[in-house]
């Protein structure tokens, strides 16, 4: 009984070794960079993490092909290195000792890539499936380009400034014009009669006006 069990186990192991080896058919290499992604919060890669990985791949396969025949034991991991890189392959329980075609595995993983990444707190760059390309997400574009909004604000400020300056300039001009016409009107009232170029009010205020032509020759006249 025990011998039979050991024999089946060894057969299975050899079969597995045949199926999962580097560059085997339908096998994929995975490369994980935990320290790059998480820094100080990095967890160690051990057998439990491997179990989670097998579970996630099995989940993806079950979801993708919608048949619940894929078990965790169908996912085989091998050649785990210190880098944390390994090869994996998905076997088909219904057909003995064969692997699920690579295209199916690829499609399944692509569809649920996000779920697999989140399980390990990694992203497309730090959990790499070497032959599976990831679809790039388009950059987020807001409905109105931001620059148009900023441009609108700047333009409004400038137009407001120009209008303000022009209007204040016109108002200043009008005020100056009004002032100068007022001054002109005032002067017209002031300019009454002129005698010899001297307004009569000046004559009235002072007691006469000294005529400069005669004032110079003081000595010729006797003082009063």
Partner 1 sequence: LSATPEIPKEDARPKWDNKFQYILSCIGFAVGLGNVWRFPYLCQIHGGGAFLIPYFIALLFEGIPLLHLELALGQCLRKGSIGAWNTISPYLGGVGVGSWVVSVLVSLYYNTVLTWVMWYFINSFQEPLPWSVCPLNENRTGFNEECYESTAVNYFWYRKTLNVTPDIAESGTMQWWLILCLATCWGIVYLCTIRGIETTGKAIYVTAIFPYLVLTIFLIQGLTLPGATDGLIYLFTPNLNTLKNPRVWLDAATQIFFSLSLAFGGLIAFASYNPTKNDCEKDAVMVAIVNSMTSLYASIPVFSVLGFKATTAYWDCLDRNIISIINEFDLPEESIMRQNYTSWISFLNSSYPEKIAGLKLKSCNLQEFLDQSVSGTGLAFIVFTQAIILMPGSQAWAILFFIMLFSLGLSSMFGNIEGVFTPLLELQIIPKSAPKELLSGIICLISFLIALCFTLRSGSYWIDIFDRYAGSVPLLVIAFFEVIGVAYIYKIKRFSKDVEWMTGRKLNLYWHITWRFISPLLLLIVFMAFVTLQMQKPPSYTAWNPKYEGFPMKEEKAYPPWVQAICVLLAALPCVCVPLVALFHLVKQKRRSKDPSFVPPEVFSCQGANS
Query: Cβ of residue 181: shortest distance to partner 1, in angstroms?
Result: 12
Contact assessment for residue 45 and residue 122, using Cβ atoms and an 8 Å cutoff: no
Alpha-carbon gap, residue 78 to 17, rounded angstroms = 8
Residue with tokens 């085997």: 24
Per DSSP, the chain holds a count of helices (H) and strands (E) of 8, 7
Q: Compute the 3-state secondary structure of the chain and give helix, strand, coil in percent, each to the nearest 5.
A: 55, 10, 35
Residue with tokens 């209007």: 167
Note whether 101 binds partner 1 by CB under 8 A.
no
Among 9, 12, 97, 154, binds partner 1 (CB under 8 A): 154
* Residue placing its CB nearer to partner 1 in the complex, 37 or 52: 37
User: Greatest CA separation found in the chain?
Assistant: 169
Query: Cβ of residue 27: shortest distance to partner 1, in angstroms?
Result: 16
* Residue placing its CB nearer to partner 1 in the complex, 7 or 198: 198
Note whether 162 binds partner 1 by CB under 8 A.
yes
- Name the token pair of 90: 């998905």
Note whether 181 binds partner 1 by CB under 8 A.
no
Site string for partner 1, 29-48 (x = CB under 8 A): --x-xxxx------------
For residue 88, with 0-12 CB atoms within 10 Å meaning exposed, 13-18 middle and 19 or more buried, which class applies? buried
Site string for partner 1, 52-91 (x = CB under 8 A): -----------------------------xxxxx------
Write the CB contacts of 18 (distance below 8 Å, at least 6 apart in sequence).
Answer: 97
Note whether 125 binds partner 1 by CB under 8 A.
no
Among 151, 171, 181, 185, binds partner 1 (CB under 8 A): 151
List residues near partner 1 by CB under 8 A: 31, 33-36, 81-85, 133, 135-136, 138-139, 146-147, 149-151, 154-155, 158-159, 161-162, 165-166, 169-170, 173, 176, 180, 183, 187, 190-191, 197-199, 202
């Amino acid at each position: 009984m025990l011998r039979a069990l050991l024999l089946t186990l060894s057969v299975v192991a050899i079969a597995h070794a045949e199926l999962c080896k580097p560059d085997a058919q339908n096998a994929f290499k995975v490369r994980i960079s935990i320290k790059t992604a998480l820094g100080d919060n990095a967890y160690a890669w051990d057998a439990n993490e491997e179990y989670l990985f097998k579970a996630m791949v099995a989940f993806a396969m079950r979801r993708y092909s919608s048949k619940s025949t894929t078990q965790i034991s169908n996912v085989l991991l091998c050649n785990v290195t210190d880098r944390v890189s390994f090869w994996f392959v998905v076997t088909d329980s219904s057909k003995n000792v064969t692997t699920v075609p690579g295209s199916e595995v690829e499609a399944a993983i692509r569809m649920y890539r996000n779920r697999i990444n989140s399980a390990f707190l990694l992203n497309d760059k730090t959990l790499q499936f070497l032959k599976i390309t990831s679809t790039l997400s388009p950059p987020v574009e807001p409905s109105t380009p931001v620059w148009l909004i900023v441009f609108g604000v700047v333009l409004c400020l400038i137009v407001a400034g120009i209008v303000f300056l022009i209007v204040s300039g016109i108002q200043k001009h009008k005020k100056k014009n009004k002032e100068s016409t007022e001054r002109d009107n005032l002067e017209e009232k002031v300019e009454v009669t002129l005698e010899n170029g001297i307004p009569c009010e000046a004559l009235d205020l002072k007691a006469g006006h000294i005529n400069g032509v005669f004032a110079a020759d003081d000595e010729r006249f006797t003082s009063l």
